[in-house]
């Protein structure tokens, strides 16, 4: 399978009053053409910021600070090669080395994104059809003039539309775009699309509006759809409908999807490959089978063990002790970020583990990929400034590496 | 079987819209929102009864009404023999001590300037239990018991993580030593690893203190994990109730089946599992469907006597009928799409809509009836169009309101055992029902 996107060592930081937050830390992964990559993690794992980074929607005080995002697009490569040979490698273009205008021009047509809350993606005072027609119009005009990537950007990029809700008035869209909007609404399974197109967002149910947002995101026929918790706010019967729809669209439109979610069931339902994120890092990645059936990283195992199984109600859940670190740069220890919660922590873990290759395409950022656990090397719990799960005391600056032992804060969360 | 601690009988909570003085003066119709619509069940001593349902099914209103945090519009609740809605004075106080409630975000209604200790002991202070020194001691013990530490007593809510806040909320609910706790979505805002910690804590405390729980949640896996029995709610009603194992292994109501099927499993076989998704949205509780409230989405909708179509065909026609009845199809717009503003070619209109509404062939008789309805629609006569379909495709599920019979595992569906009065009503309805000839009026 060919790759659509190769992400290498991507880092995104936020520069806030509390200090520098390492939201995404040296993340690498590949998205194959026509497949679904699931990115799973808990809150604060950096999964959403990873999605935003991919399509360049990180907002101040956040900033992508390093890394490469190689996008497979021969046409674009040819167009860019003259001006910026360093940004081109065969059919691949490094998006990070394009100008901002060039990058923005790819939004909607190359990359698109849907979010958890469709209400925030629609302007409440404009009909749904009009807003989708708007997105279609932008793409139509852009493809009428493919040589000028700039012409696509005039402030109407999909990203801006989705995020700002700044929309011009009706006269902007052509009848053709309106028809396209109706067609898109039909494509995403909205009954009586011509009628519904005339309605306002508040007249749509949550599930229907989610479909409408997907229609809007598809207006530019994107290669890649980033879906950030697209079903989290929905009831389970509606979630099943939307997952079906996404799988169907992905297949028929031959697009790739990066599906970001905390829900392991959703991942299992639609993802081909999986990246597990923890504390800003990808701690394990591989095929769905690699990650679910042969997990190496104790965090992956812990996550799988925490979910109550609806088919096999076990006696007792096995939660992961403690809580996620806060990602403030100054507090991030120079060791495996998971060591303070890890039941297998060893002295080896007191230096930052690299990404090890477990098997072809299956990687884990954990020493257990290379060696067995040995009790003799175990690190006693007290070595760590135990994450007390209260967000303040965990960050006394002490780390296991400098050998200081935290004196208070021994509250283990089970 | 253990005795019921709580008995809920035909509990009803309606809200009324258009109920201001002005509305009444102008004669606007008073509109009832049936949040809880005649619910009966019991919670047995020492058990956990899980209540599941999707948003808007009324499960949270049920909890609040049951605890008398809202006034019911009908029905009764009995707690250990006492009628909760008739209690006052010291009896009411006693009830407020014996029954506690914990919400998804226990802090949303609390003063953020209160410390953890103050939050936990507030119920004790309200009921005048102990001296302030004793109360503080109690808070320290409770903090330990819920897996926090006593020296966190003077911290503020914002200094705690979500999981810890839930622990504090739980400590508060435990403070006054209740027998019964209503837990309303207590773990749904938490990450899975933390959620598991809190679920274990709830289970441990129940075992230790013989607590009785009413556990309300939308996450079926969590409910299965923690409950002894489960009640499934849909549009303000309980559609099925029974022992957890039976509900999950042998669900009887089509809604329960659909709900269980919809949950994606965290398993590598998940992709190959066929999920029959149920279509459409939950109808508004302002205007619930007649008869069975699930009928607009039910994959097992019962056909009228004499009709025996493939289920998918029958459902397709029923959905089409609903679109016409709801006025979802804009006739003017459709004529425009047909490209015939003068409205001369009725057959083109019929073909266009017929094509769009059904992607498969219909049996001749159905084809005829459907076309007849569309012809009426083309003339702008929505009423006749709807009536034509209604006449032939009227399901008993829309005429008869199923009920929950007595027993260990009843379900409110006409396909299953029904209370006697419902059975009788159905027999009468069927006796009255005359199967019409297909397309009779056009012949
Ligand atoms: S590197 Fe060590 S501490 Fe980190 S996850 Fe692996 S075993 Fe645990
Ligand atoms: S009564 Fe009819 S509509 Fe209701 S659940 Fe049973 S079969 Fe379905």
DSSP codes of every residue in B134-167: HHHHHHHHHHHHTTS-GGGTT--GGGS-HHHHHH
Q: Is B442 exposed, middle or buried (0-12, 13-18, 19+ CB in 10 A)?
A: exposed
| Helix residue ranges, H only, B55-129 | 59-66, 89-98, 116-126
The atom number, within ligand 2, closest to the CA of B239 reads 5
Domain spans of chain A?
Answer: 1-110+222-294, 128-221, 310-413
Residues of B in contact with A303 (CB under 8 A): 192-193
Q: Do A390 and B147 touch (CB under 8 A)?
A: no
**Three-class DSSP labels, A58-76:** CCCCEEEEEEEEEEECHHH
Per-residue pLDDT for A396 more than 80?
no
Chain A hits for B271, CB-CB cut-off 8 Å, are 268-270, 288
Instruction: List the CATH code of the domain at A1-110+222-294.
Output: 3.40.50.300
pLDDT above 50 (res A232): yes
Q: In chain B, which among 288-317 make CB contacts under 8 A with chain A?
A: 297
Of B112, B114, B171, B110, the C-alpha closest to B140 is B171
Contact list in B for residue A36 (CB cut-off 8 A) is none
Q: How far apart are CA B324 and CA B249, in angstroms?
A: 38
A129 exposure class (CB count in 10 Å sphere: 0-12, 13-18, 19+): buried
Q: Give the one of B196, B224, B270 whose C-beta lies nearest to A313's C-beta.
A: B224
Q: Is the CB of A367 under 6 A from ligand 1?
A: yes
Chain B residues in contact with A269 (beta carbon < 8 A): 264-265, 270-271
Other Cβ atoms closer than 10 A to B435 = 11
Q: Taking chain A, what is the end-to-end CA distance rounded to the nearest angstrom? A: 44
Comparing CA positions, the residue from B243, B252, B246, B189 lying closest to residue B49 is B243
A64: distance to nearest CA of chain B, Å?
26
Task: Give the tokens for residue A46.
Answer: 């950096």
pLDDT band (50, 70, 90) for residue A155? very low
The yes-or-no verdict on residue A147 having pLDDT over 90 is no
Provide the pLDDT for residue B328: 87
Q: What is the pLDDT of residues B329-365, one digit of tens each?
A: 888 888 888 887 788 888 889 988 998 888 888 999 9
User: What local confidence, expressed as pLDDT, does residue A15 receive?
Assistant: 94
Residue A299 CA: nearest ligand 1 atom is 5
Q: H or E segment at B132?
A: helix B132-145
d(CA B284, CA A277): 39
Q: Which one of B240, B292, B416 would you pick to mutate in the ligand 2 pocket, going by the greatest count of ligand atoms within 8 A of its CB?
A: B292
Q: Which atom of ligand 1 is nearest to the CA of A345?
A: 3
CA of A403 to the centre of ligand 1 (A): 17
Nearest-ligand number for the alpha carbon of A383: 1
Provide the token pair at B9: 């009988």
As a whole number of angstroms, the distance between CA B126 and CA B100 comes to: 13
Is 60 exceeded by the pLDDT of residue A159? no
Average pLDDT, chain A: 83
In this predicted structure, which of A113-122, A338-347, B63-72 has the lowest mean pLDDT?
A113-122
Is residue B32 a contact partner of residue B26, using CB atoms and an 8 Å limit?
Answer: no
pLDDT at B24: 67
Give the tens place of pLDDT for each residue, B245-281. Answer: 999 999 999 999 999 999 999 999 998 898 887 888 8
Contacts of residue A40, defined as CB under 8 A and 6 or more positions apart, other chains included, come to A47, A260, A261, A262, A263, A264, A267, A274, A275, A276, A277, A303
Residue of A nearest to B271 (CA): A269
Q: Pick the residue whose CA is nearest to atom 1 on ligand 1.
A: A366
DSSP state of B411: B
How does residue A172 score in pLDDT terms, banded at 50, 70 and 90? Answer: low
Three-state secondary-structure class, residue B427: helix
Q: For residue B28, what pLDDT is reported?
A: 66
Return the SS3 of B386: helix
Read off the pTM.
0.87
- Residue A8 scores a pLDDT above 70: yes
Closest CA to B213 of B247, B244, B254: B244
Whether the Cβ atoms of residue A16 and residue A61 lie closer than 8 Å to each other: yes
Cα separations (Å) of A143 from A106, A160, A172, A221?
Answer: 12, 19, 16, 11
- The CB density around residue B249, as the number of other CB atoms within 10 Å, is 10
Kind plus residue range of the DSSP H or E element containing B276: none
A307 Cβ under 8 Å from any chain B Cβ: yes
- Residue B271 contacts A where some CB pair is shorter than 8 Å: yes
Across the beta sheet with A88-89, the strand order is: A19-32, A3-16, A62-72, A92-94, A88-89
Using the mean position of ligand 2's atoms as its centre, give its distance from the Cα of residue B412 in Å. Answer: 8
CA A333–ligand 2 middle distance (angstroms) = 58
Q: At what angle do helices B162-174 and B132-145 cross, to 10 degrees?
A: 130
Distance from CA of B409 to the nearest CA of A (A): 19
Q: For an interface test with B, give the residue of A234, A310, A362, A412 to mutate (most B CBs within 10 A).
A: A310
Q: Which two tokens stand for residue B436?
A: 């019409």
**Rounded Cα distance, B197 and B199, in Å:** 6
Q: A317 and chain B: CB distance < 8 Å anywhere?
A: yes
- Please, which residues have CB within 8 angstroms of residue B195's CB and are 6 or more apart in sequence? A306, A319, B163, B187, B222
Rg over alpha carbons for chain A, rounded to the nearest Å, is 23
The pLDDT score that the predictor gives to residue A377 is: 87
| pLDDT exceeds 50 at position A406 | no
The dihedrals phi and psi of B224, each to the nearest 5 degrees, come to -60, -40
B236 Cβ neighbours under 8 A, 6+ residues apart: B34, B35, B36, B37, B38, B39, B57, B58, B285, B288, B293
Q: What confidence score (pLDDT) does residue A143 get?
A: 66
Q: For residue A156, what pLDDT is reported?
A: 34
CB within 8 Å: B221 and A310: yes
Q: Cα dihedral sign for A52, A58, A64, A69?
A: positive
For residues B139 and A291, give the distance between their C-alpha atoms in angstroms, rounded to a whole number.
Answer: 43
Which pLDDT score is estimated for B440?
Answer: 46
Contacts of A303 (CB under 8 A, 6+ apart): A40, A42, A264, A276, A320, B192, B193
**Does A303 sit within 8 Å of B164, measured CB to CB?**
no
Instruction: Give the separation between CA A113 and CA B224, rounded to whole angstroms.
Output: 34
- A14 phi and psi angles, rounded to 5 deg: -120, 130
Q: Which residues contact A84 (CB under 8 A, 6 or more apart)?
A: A97, A98
Q: Which of A12, A49, A36 shows the shortest CA–CA distance to A256?
A: A36
CATH number for the domain whose boundaries are B4-250: 3.40.50.300
| Residue appearing with tokens 């005072």 | A125
More confident residue, A152 or B11: B11
At residue A346, does pLDDT exceed 60?
yes
- β-bridge partners, B214: B49, B182
What number does the ligand 2 atom closest to the CA of B416 have? 6
**Distance (Å, whole) CA B415 – CA A46:** 49
Between the CA of B420 and the centroid of ligand 2 the distance, in Å, is 17
Single out the residue of A382, A380, A389, A371 nearest to residue A404, CA to CA.
A382
**Quick one: pLDDT at residue A385?**
54
Average pLDDT over residues A153-169: 40
Per-residue pLDDT at A403 exceeds 70: no
Minimal-distance CA residue of chain A relative to B54:
A235
B187 to chain A, any CB pair closer than 8 A? The answer is no
Instruction: Give chain B's residues under pLDDT 70.
Output: 1, 18-24, 27-29, 109, 435-443
The angle that helices B192-209 and A298-306 make with each other, rounded to 10 degrees, is 50
In whole angstroms, give the CA distance from residue A111 to residue A256.
Answer: 10
Q: What's the pLDDT score for residue A144? A: 64
**For residue A412, what pLDDT band results from cuts at 50, 70 and 90?**
very low
Q: Would the pLDDT of A201 be above 60? A: yes
d(CA A46, CA A22): 9
Q: Would strands B74-79 and B4-17 be described as parallel, antiparallel, or unpaired?
A: antiparallel
* pLDDT number for residue A376: 85
Task: Report the C-alpha dihedral over residues A342, A344, A350, A355, rounded to 10 degrees.
Answer: -90
pLDDT grade for A55, boundaries at 50, 70 and 90: confident
- The ligand with the least distance to the CA atom of A344 is 1
SS3 string, chain A, reads CCEEEEEEEEEEEEEECCEEEEEEEEEEEEEECCCEEEEECCCCCCHHHHHHHHCCCCCCCEEEEEEEEEEECHHHHHHHHCCCHHHEECCEEEHHHCCHHHHHHHECCCEEEECCCHHHHCCCCCCHHHHHHHHHHHHHHHHHCCCCHHHHCCCCCHHHHHHHCCCCCHHHCCHHHHHHHHHHHHHCCCCCHHHHHCCCHHHCCHHHHHHHHHHHHHCCCCCEEEEECCCCCCCHHHHHHHHHHHHHHHHHCCCEEEEEECCHHHHHHHCCEEEEEECCEEEEEEEHHHHHHCCCCHHHHHHHHHCCCCCCCCCCCCCCCCCCCCCEHHHCCCCCCCHHHCCCCEHHHHCCCCCEEEECCEEECCHHHCCCCCHHHECCHHHCCCCCCCCCHHHCCCCCCCCCCCCCCCCCCC
**Residues in A touching B262 (Cβ below 8 Å):** 236-237, 239-240
Residues with CB under 6 A from ligand 2: B 253-254, 292, 294-295, 298, 300-302, 397, 402, 413-415
| Domain spans, chain B | 4-250, 311-404+420-432
């Amino acid at each position: 399978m060919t790759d659509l996107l190769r992400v290498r060592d991507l880092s995104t930081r936020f520069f806030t009053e509390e200090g520098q937050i390492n939201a995404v830390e040296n993340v690498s992964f590949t998205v194959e053409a026509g497949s679904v990559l699931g990115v799973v993690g808990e809150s604060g794992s950096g999964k959403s910021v990873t999605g935003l980074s991919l399509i360049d929607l990180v907002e101040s005080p956040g900033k992508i600070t390093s890394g490469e995002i190689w996008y497979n697009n021969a046409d674009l490569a040819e167009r860019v090669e003259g001006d910026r040979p360093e940004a081109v490698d065969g059919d691949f273009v490094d998006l990070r080395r394009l100008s901002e205008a060039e990058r923005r021009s790819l939004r909607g047509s190359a990359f698109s994104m849907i979010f958890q809350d469709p209400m925030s993606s629609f302007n409440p005072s404009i009909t749904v059809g009009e807003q989708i027609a708007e997105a279609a119009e932008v793409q139509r005009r852009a493809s009428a003039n493919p040589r000028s990537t700039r012409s696509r950007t005039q402030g109407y990029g999909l990203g801006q539309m989705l995020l700002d809700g700044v929309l011009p008035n009706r006269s902007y869209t052509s009848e053709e775009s309106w028809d396209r909007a109706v067609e898109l609404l039909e494509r995403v399974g909205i009954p009586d699309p011509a009628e519904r197109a005339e309605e306002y967002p508040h007249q749509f149910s949550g599930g229907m509006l989610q479909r409408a947002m997907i229609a809007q995101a598809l207006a530019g026929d994107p290669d890649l759809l980033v879906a950030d918790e697209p079903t989290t706010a929905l009831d389970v019967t509606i979630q099943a409908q939307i997952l079906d729809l996404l799988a169907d669209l992905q297949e028929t439109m031959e697009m790739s999807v990066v599906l970001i979610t905390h829900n392991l069931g959703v991942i299992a339902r639609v993802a081909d490959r999986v990246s597990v994120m923890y504390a800003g890092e990808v701690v394990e990645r591989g095929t769905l089978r690699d990650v679910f059936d042969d997990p190496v990283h104790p965090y992956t195992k812990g996550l799988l063990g925490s979910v109550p199984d609806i088919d096999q109600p076990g006696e007792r859940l096995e939660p992961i002790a403690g809580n996620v670190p806060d990602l403030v740069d100054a507090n991030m220890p120079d060791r495996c970020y998971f060591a303070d919660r890890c039941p297998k922590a060893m002295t080896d873990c007191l230096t930052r583990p690299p990404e090890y290759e477990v098997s072809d395409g299956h990687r884990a950022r954990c020493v257990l990929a290379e060696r067995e656990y040995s009790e003799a090397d175990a690190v006693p719990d007290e070595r760590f400034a135990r994450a007390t799960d209260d967000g303040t005391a965990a960050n006394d600056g002490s780390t296991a590496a400098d050998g200081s032992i935290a004196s208070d804060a021994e509250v283990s969360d089970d | 079987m253990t005795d019921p601690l709580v008995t809920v009988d035909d509990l009803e909570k309606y809200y009324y819209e258009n109920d201001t003085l002005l509305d009444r003066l102008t004669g606007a119709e008073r509109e009832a929102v049936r949040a809880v619509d005649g619910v009966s069940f019991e919670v047995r001593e020492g058990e956990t009864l899980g209540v599941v349902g999707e948003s808007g099914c009324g499960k949270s209103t049920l909890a609040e009404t049951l605890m008398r945090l809202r006034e019911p519009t009908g029905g009764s609740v009995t707690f250990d023999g006492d009628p909760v809605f008739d209690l006052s004075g010291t009896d009411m106080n006693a009830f407020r001590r014996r029954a506690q409630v914990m919400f998804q975000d226990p802090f949303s209604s609390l003063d953020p300037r209160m410390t953890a200790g103050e939050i936990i002991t507030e119920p004790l202070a309200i009921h005048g239990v102990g001296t302030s020194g004793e109360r503080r001691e109690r808070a320290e013990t409770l903090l330990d018991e819920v897996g926090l530490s006593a020296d966190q007593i003077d911290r503020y809510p914002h200094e705690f993580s979500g999981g810890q806040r839930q622990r504090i909320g739980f400590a508060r609910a435990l403070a006054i030593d209740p027998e019964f706790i209503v837990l309303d979505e207590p773990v749904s805002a938490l990450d899975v690893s933390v959620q598991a910690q809190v679920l274990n804590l709830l289970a441990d405390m129940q075992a230790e203190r013989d607590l009785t729980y009413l556990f309300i949640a939308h996450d079926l896996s969590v409910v299965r994990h923690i409950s002894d029995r489960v009640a499934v709610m849909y549009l303000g009603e309980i559609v099925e109730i029974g022992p957890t194992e039976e509900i999950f292994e042998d669900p009887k109501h089509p809604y329960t089946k659909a709900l269980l099927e919809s949950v994606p499993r965290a398993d590598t076989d998940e992709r190959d599992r066929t999920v029959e998704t149920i279509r459409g949205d939950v109808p508004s509780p302002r205007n619930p469907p007649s008869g069975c409230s699930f009928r607009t989405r039910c994959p097992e909708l019962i056909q009228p006597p004499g009709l025996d179509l493939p289920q998918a065909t029958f459902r397709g026609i029923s959905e089409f009928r609903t679109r016409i009845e709801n006025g979802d199809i804009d006739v003017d717009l459709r004529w425009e799409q047909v490209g015939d503003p003068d409205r001369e070619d009725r057959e083109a209109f019929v073909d266009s809509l017929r094509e769009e509404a059904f992607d498969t062939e219909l049996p001749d008789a159905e084809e005829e009836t459907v076309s007849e309805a569309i012809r009426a629609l083309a003339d702008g006569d929505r009423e006749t169009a709807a009536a034509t379909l209604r006449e032939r495709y009227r399901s008993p599920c829309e005429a008869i309101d199923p009920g929950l019979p007595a027993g260990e595992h009843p379900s409110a569906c006409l396909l299953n055992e029904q209370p006697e009065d419902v059975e009788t009503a159905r027999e009468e309805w069927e006796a009255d029902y005359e199967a019409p000839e297909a397309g009779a009026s056009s012949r």
